Structure 1
């Protein structure tokens, strides 16, 4: 992932990495969702947070999204969601051939 100076500049980087921008931004969060909060005039950095196992994190655990905790500090929010279906390989027909070892493990219900 490309490094940027400010959190508010990571939207394009997230899209290149496999996320897509979800509209509206106030949907029920899922694991690995990323919020980018765009600042008002007092701060020019912005803020990024990721949702994982029912909690929001940035560089610290947050009791809620900072959008909910400090709504006056940020004037807009964007939600970026990981495109799971784009990352998973499409199944290929085997037509009677046994799958390769790596494919057997990937398709196993045990793993």
Structure 2
């Protein structure tokens, strides 16, 4: 079971119904989508317990300016078939600079196993 970025993106959209962007999303995409996901699939790599195995981080953040709730557990379980192994979540709340608008972000930390021959 290997990691597939396109399958992962489709799975996130299917589970949540919200758009998914890479970390290089534009200002227009942010303005047009008050609730969205953003991912980084080029995370840190570290040694696993096996001699020829490594783990690469995949970070997925849910951002909402609408105070939307998602089922975190459904998302975590739904990404297992994509080759992602869940590690932890981190929640942040804040106010967008120079506005009265509040934002909430839930960051999901996953990793994928890489085998080097």
Query: Please, what TM-score do these two structures have when normalized by structure 2?
Result: 0.29
Which protein has the bigger strand share?
Answer: 2
**Structure number with larger C-alpha Rg:** 1
